Structure formats: C-alpha cells, structure tokens
A and B are shown apart, each in its own frame.
Chain A
Amino acid sequence: MASKGLAIAAAIIIIIIIIGAAAYYMSQKPAPATTTTTSTSTSTSTTTKTTTSTTTSAAPSKPVLTGNFEKDVIAIGKYLESKGIHTVKFTVWATGDPNSVMRMYGLYEAAYKINKIWEKNGINVKIVMDKFWESSFKKLYDEFTSAVPQGTNGDFFVNSYIYIANLASQGYILDINSYVEKYWDSVFKDFYTPIMEAAKYKGHYYGVPQDTEARPIYVRKDVAACMGWDISNLAQQVKDGKFTWHDMFKKAEEAVSKGCAKWGLIHRKGSAHPDLIQFIFAYGGKLYDEKTGKLVLDVPAVYKWFATEYAFAQHKLLPKDMMSWDWAQQIHPTVVNDCKGSPTGCTLFFIGGTWHWTEWQTKAYYYDPTTKKQRPLTPEEEVKKFYYTLFPAGDPGDKPVTLSQPFMWMIAENAGKDNPNYNQLKDVYHELAFLMVVGASDPEINAIHSVISGHVPVRKAAAALLKNETWVNDLINMKINLSPDVKKAIEPIVRRTANKINIQFLANVSYMLEYTHLAPSHPLYPKLAGFFADAINKVLMGEMTPKDAVNYLIQKIKADPQLSANVEIVGSIPSNWSFP
C-alpha cells in the first residue's frame, strides 16, 4: 500500500515538474511586446548616439511613400529611429509545396536589402524576421483567420488569391491600393495584367502577386508518333482555336483504338476546381459577373463540360473513377510511364499544371522497365516524352484558355503589431511592410523562385531573365545574387532544379499567361466548386446524365438562400449541340 502511494505521489510530482518546466519554457519565448512597456526605456538610449548623420535637431515628420524605393526606405528608417525604435520585428506566414520557400525568403531578402540601405545611410534600425510554414494552404488560411482576432497572426500572409475577397471583406488584410499606385510606374506596370487584377477586391488592391502557374495540356509525343499524328504544330493550332475538344476526342479515340495508349485523357482527382473549370471558360462561359459582383452558373457552358467528360468516360477514354484516382500511385505513373511494359499503361492527354514538370523530376513516379523500380524522370526524358499546349477551345469559334491561381503577398491589417508604439506608428509599419513586398517583387527573386519551384513568373522582367542566357548560366553555376542566409537555405534546391531544360520550359509556357483565366475570388465560390466536384463525379461514374447533373446543380444552388441570392443562373441547355 505504501509503495503504491509513493508511486502515485512520484507520478504527480513528475507531472507537476513537467508542467512547470513547460510553463517556464513557454514564458521564455520572446513575447510580443505590448505598446505600453517598452517605449519609455528606448528613448533614453538614442540621446547618446553621436555617429549618426545630420539632423538630430528637427524631428522627421511621418513619411509618405513617394515611389522611390531607396528614398522611402531612408525616410521610414529615419522616422523610426527618431522615435527610438531600433528593431522592427516582422513575421511571415507562408504555405505551399516544399520547394516554394522563397515565399518566405523573398521577404527575408527584402529585409536584408532594406537593412543594408539603412546601414549605408547610418540609420540604426534593423528588421528582424521570423517565419512560419504550413504545408496546406487551406490550413494556413484557417490558422490566419482564427489568429487575427487574437492578434497572434503573422504580419505577412502569403497564400492563394482566392482568399483576398474574404480576408478583405472581414478587414483582416490591408488595403494597399494607394501604395500600389505610388509604385505603379516603377514596379507594378511590369506585372501581367490578369494576374494583377486578381489582387483586387472591390476595385482596390489588397495584395501583390507573388507567383503563378499555368495549366497546360501535356501530350505524349510517343503516343502521337505511334498514331502517326504530327503534333509539331499543335500548339499554334490550339492557339488559333483550330484544334478544339471535338478534335481532342477524335485523337483520343484513335490513340486508344489503335492500342497506342491505354487511356485518352487523364486529369486531376478529388475536386473540379481548378483544372476542370477550364472547360467552362473553353466553352465561352463565365463564372463571375463583374457588374453585379455575383457568381454565375453558365448553364450551356457547364452542360457542355459535363457532356464532354461524359462522352470521354462512356467511350472508356477517361476512367470513370477518375475523381478517386490516387495521385502517387495512379495518376502520375499513368502520365509518365511507358506505354508498353509498365504496370499502368499510358495516356495521350493529361490536363496538368506547369509545376508537374519539375515534380516528375523530383518524385519517383516513373517505372523503369530495366530496374523494375520507380524513379524520377530526367529532364531529357521529359523533353522527349512531353509536348504541351494551351487548353483547347471547346467548340469551333471559342478561344483556348488556361487557368492560373496566383499566390499573393498580403499584409495583415495589424502588421507591425509586435513592435513598440504600434498604435501611433501603425501607418509607418504598414508602409515599411509594403516596401518589403516591393523588395520581394524584385525580378531576380521572382525568377529564382520560378526556377526552383516550377512556377511561372508574374512580371515580364522576370520572364525576360529566364530567357537571358547569361543569367541562366550564372544561376546554374550557383552565382546567385542573394543574401548569404537565403542563399544557403536554397542552395540545395537550386542545385537540384536549375537546369537549362527546365528553365526553357518555364520560358516557353509564359505565353500562356496572356490567355489565362482566374476562378472568381468570391467568398461563396468554394461552395459552388464543391457542387461542381460532386456533380462531375456522378457524371463520370455514370450515375447521372449531363442534363440531370446540371439540374442537380441548379437545385443545390437554389436550396441555399445565401447561394441563391449570390449566383445568377444564366442560359439553358443547348438543344442542337452534341459531343463528339
């Protein structure tokens, strides 16, 4: 009995020690400084400084952005210094695939640049950065929205543009429209217009594009050759709208019936957004009405989309359980494997993304018939295997499309909150944060990010760098113009991903951004997208005909009063149209 009591007592003591240690450990973490405590202590230290430059007599007035980066940085630095602030803390919250770390380090780089300017001008202020990475972009959004009311959110939020509408309407991110206007000529004029437009909410800019991608159709060169199909001019034909989805069907059927490929078409699983939404645009439909600000269910376009996929599935050119295929074990292997002698067979067409190009080189999806094991593809093998074009027009007369989901640099409405005198110096901290975003938008940073993560640049200057042989060679030889810390962090990735073929690929696909569409940034769009996914799954499985599926969609929208009020249902099912 006594030993049992001792055991329990010991357990309780140990647990109390653990909790106590935890509490102690927690309290040691640097805590966000509150506005009241620190301001008094720092003001005394500045009076002893003698080395700094001239005007200690007249206190600088609150800086306003002029559009000249260096001037604005200096003005802000001097102002902060005059208020007794020597350290500015910023945290960046970012997300995405593991190679997209420049979403954090781009801002680190900007901070480095700014710190250097201040140092050069004798301003004793430094930006100190902290970061937080979440691998799921949805989860980061959840974490951000639940953290803002508590004031525990990151100052910078780097995530998909689709969240801008919601975050802006909730007042969680900054309206940076006036700042962007100041820097329009020197910086933002260079950005691709559709991508820049995606950063707007109710006509104001709330973010700055960080990167984007495009969604090409990948065509297997070996399957085309087997069919006797010359695809050397296919991209141009698609661009001109001369090769439509009706032609896609014919070619897919031919490929499968001739035994050249197991499948005619493969696409993503799980959700309809974003890849399959391209069908709506390809058939000349739209998802958003700019005039009313409402979402649109374009019935004829959606019907044609369903009918197209229905036909592919019914003719066994597209797997009917496509929506539940496994990425790592079915989708990617089928896309990259050889047609003969591989466990999955191959496909003629794949509705993919530009980032897949590097993913196939970094993940082991390809079944090597000689070793009978899976391995990544080499860039040379990829070039031999894949041709890529825009997403073709739906009917003759429609235009080809692609779809982009740009990522945005967003500034939290309380950016700078972890710094002294936040309430008085709010505007200054916000301006500084914006300047950091400007710094992070440097063409070189954008270009390096594109290369290592397989994204497409958002500004023409960055795309030009990709076409610049000297720059490319420097990059491959690791002559990267970045701060030492950032350089060290990304060096292994650069080594793995920077090669001429991949950079050439990115340069080649940049033209697609001129044809790109974006899914609406409306807060209710994800709900609509969810309905699309359920509906297309039923269509593919043969559970519903395209007509029934469209009616199902209409019913689902009408059932929810909030959706009903925010979605315009336009048009009707076309009577004289068939596919193929």
Chain B
Amino acid sequence: MKVSRKLTLLFFLGPALFVVVLFYIVPLFLSIYISFTPMTDWNINRYLTQFIGLQNYERLIHIMMYDPDMRAVIITTCVFIAVTLVINVFGGLLLALATYFMDEKLSLAYQGLWLLPRMTPVAVYSLLWYYFFHSSGIGLLNAILMRLHLINHPIALGLDPRYLPWGAWFIIIFVNGLVGVSYGMIIFYSAFKSIPKELIIAARVDGASTGRIIRHILLPLTKWHFTFITVWQMLSLLTSFAQIFLLVEWRVVDSTWGQTWALYVFRTAFTTVKDQGLAAAASTFLSVIGIALGLVALKALGYKKMILEPKGDI
C-alpha cells in the first residue's frame, strides 16, 4: 500500500515539483547568489565566479538613502499598490458577478472585452494610453473633454506640476487597474460556475433575491479564491512595472511621481549596462518585503483555517 501511495503522489506532484524546482527555485537561489557578484551584460563566463560580498546591497541602500526621488518613489509605490489592489480585487469580483448573472453571449462578449488589456502586447497597450493621456490636444482624453467643453486647454495630466502627484498616480493606477481586473474576473467567474446549479436553483425556487444568492451562496464558497487573488495581485503589483515603464519613457507621466519601486530599480539597473548584480540585490530585497507582506496578508485572511485536511488516504 505504502509504495503505491508514494507512486501516486509522485504521479500527481512530481512533474510540477520537478519543473518548479528546476526553473523557478534553483534560479531563485542562483539569483540571490548573483546579487553577491558584479554581474553585468550577461557575462556569466567572467563574473559568475567573482564574489564581492554585500557591495551591491551597500550600493542599493546608499541609493535609497540619498536619491532625491526616493521619497516620492516609496510613497507612489504604497499608494499604487493599495489602490490598485482594491480596484483589482473588488473590480474583478463585481465584473464576475455581473457577467455571471448575464446572458451567456453578452457575458462572453464583455469578458472578452475586459480581457483585451491583458491580451495586448505591453508596448502596444502603453502606446494606446500614451495617445489617450497625451498632454496636448492630440490626446484622446483631452480631445473628448474639450469637445464636451469641460476644459478649454489640454491638460498634461501626468506631467503638470499643478496636478502632481495625483495626475500621475491616476494614470498609472488606471492603466494597471484595467489589466488587473480581468484576473479576478476570470477566477471568480470560474469559481461561481463550479458551484453546482442545483444550489442556485433551489435558492431561487425558495424565493431568494439575487442579493441573497450572492451573499449567502456565491461569496462564501469563494473565500479561497479571494485570498489567493488578493495576495497574488499584491505581490504582482509589488514586483511588476511593464505597463508603466513605457509611460515614463515616453513622458506621459512624470518620472518622479510615476515610478514605483520596481520600475525605479529596473531603470537604475538596466539602462545600458545590464547591471544584473544590482538588480538581483534589489530583487532579493524586494522579495523579503514581499514575503513579509504576503505572510501577513495570508494570516489576516485566515489562510490556515482554509486549508482543509485532505481526505481519502484510506
């Protein structure tokens, strides 16, 4: 019995573990090692064996202490993560609920629409918002607002000192939110769809309103997913910058108030010299923060209670 149980476990868990260990965990530790080397420009042949201790970390801390933009970057990062997280999780939930109760075809159309930002190449996505939020009259937002006579002159929303930091924050949150929302939407929607329809029908027959169905059937059964989406999106927002990078490069948002910590590190480490040692140090630093935040979030959301004891090992 024992052997076959081990084999079964291997069958289920083995492939995933193998791949994750080899391509995720091993590189992760190797990256941490690289943060102790002066790695640049992919030159592993030369730098992989040079150990320089904590130099990259010292450099990182020095930058953080003395860079005049650092205060703004940190505040921006906090605001960005907090607000976008709320939008992503609750927006996704609302969209999932809305498309759940909708006609199937309409639901398909709307979900496809909200998935478009996620499906678009990052550069093209940034290009679209570049044109939307452009500081002059060619910006679509400006053009629409001027046509509606709400403003007389084009607004440089992301750049004008009069609107900083709120204008820049609005843009980066908006642009990321539209991408993030679809994540929760799909997962919550799938979760709702996996609740057997017998339950819903029974409730309807009993005369329950839509609100009650939501509160008492749909939401309680998706706690795990809620926890997961919250923690996952939080970590995503902490570490990703792809959508904001080009907005800063193309000067749609101010470089001081439009950068999150992740983007700041990327720009610092990867301008021409690929400062990969420094980037690894910054990433390790960021991961420690992320792991700490993640653990706190998991605890707060009652993760332990949700891990049910598995059954079935007779």
Contact = CB atoms under 8 A, between A and B. Distances in A.
Whether the complex brings A and B within 8 Å at their CB atoms is answered: yes
Interface of A: 138, 141-142, 145-146, 148-149, 162-163, 166, 170-172, 269-270, 321, 323-326, 329-330, 523-527, 530, 534, 537-538, 541-543, 552, 555-556, 558-562
Given A149-B44, A321-B136, A541 B272 contact: no
Given A321-B159, A534-B256, A559 B67 contact: yes
Nearest to B43: A170
Contacts of A142: 274
A148 B67 contact: no
B250 A527 contact: no
A309 to B, nearest CB: 15
Quick one: which of B251, B254, B267 has the most chain A CB within 10 A?
A: B251
A21 B215 CA distance: 51
B156 A541 contact: yes
A270 B247 CA distance: 11
A171 to B, nearest CB: 7
Interface of B: 40-46, 58-59, 62-63, 65-70, 134-136, 138, 156, 159-161, 164, 249-252, 254-256, 267-268, 271-274
Quick one: which of A321, A324, A330, A558 has the most chain B CB within 10 A?
A: A324
Given A526-B271, A556-B69, A149 B255 contact: no
Contacts of A559: 62-63, 65-68, 70
Contacts of B256: 534, 538
A534 B161 CA distance: 14
A555 B135 contact: no
A324 B250 contact: yes
A536 to B, nearest CB: 11
B63 A534 contact: no
Contacts of B254: 537-538, 543
B45 A149 contact: yes
A561 B252 CA distance: 30
Contacts of A525: 272
Given A527-B271, A534-B256, A561-B59, A326 B138 contact: yes
A325 B136 contact: yes
A326 B130 CA distance: 10
Nearest to B259: A534
A560 B272 contact: no
Given A163-B272, A560-B62, 5 more contacts: A145-B274, A556-B68, A556-B69, A559-B62, A560-B59
B44 A326 contact: no
A171 B252 CA distance: 38
A561 B58 CA distance: 9
A329 B68 contact: no
A166 B271 CA distance: 12
A270 B246 CA distance: 11
A330 B130 CA distance: 14
B161 A269 contact: no
Contacts of A524: 273
13 contacts: A141-B272, A142-B274, A145-B41, A326-B134, A329-B138, A523-B273, A525-B272, A527-B273, A552-B68, A558-B66, A560-B67, A560-B268, A561-B62
B182 to A, nearest CB: 25
Contacts of A321: 135-136, 156, 159, 251
Contact of B255 (A172, A329, A534, A562): A534
Contacts of A541: 156, 159-161
A555 B64 CA distance: 12
B159 A562 contact: no
Contacts of A148: 42
Contacts of B267: 530
Contact of A269 (B65, B160, B251): B251
Given A324-B250, A560-B63, A166 B135 contact: no
A567 to B, nearest CB: 14
A330 B135 CA distance: 12
Contact of A324 (B43, B58, B156): B156
A148 B267 CA distance: 23
A330 B136 contact: yes
Contacts of A149: 42-45
A166 B66 contact: no
Contacts of A526: 271-273
Contacts of A270: 249-251
Given A330-B136, A560-B62, A170 B46 contact: yes
Given A329-B138, A530-B267, A542-B161, A166 B251 contact: no
A294 to B, nearest CB: 15
B67 A555 contact: yes
A337 to B, nearest CB: 14
A217 B161 CA distance: 30
Contacts of B160: 541
B258 to A, nearest CB: 11
Contacts of A552: 68
Shortest Cβ-Cβ A-B pairs, 7 listed: A559-B66, A324-B251, A526-B272, A559-B67, A543-B161, A321-B135, A555-B68
Contacts of B70: 559
Quick one: which of B59, B159, B252 has the most chain A CB within 10 A?
A: B159
B40 to A, nearest CB: 8
Contacts of A146: 42
Contacts of B271: 526-527, 530
Nearest to B40: A170
A150 to B, nearest CB: 9
A29 B159 CA distance: 50
Contact of B41 (A170, A527, A555): A170
A172 B254 CA distance: 36
Contacts of A170: 40-41, 43, 46
Contacts of B156: 321, 324, 541
B224 to A, nearest CB: 27
Contacts of B63: 559-561
B255 to A, nearest CB: 4
A559 B70 CA distance: 10
Nearest to B64: A559
B30 to A, nearest CB: 15
Contacts of B69: 556
B251 A562 contact: no
A537 B67 contact: no
Nearest to A325: B136
Nearest to B257: A543
B272 A523 contact: yes
A538 B251 CA distance: 11
Nearest to B274: A145
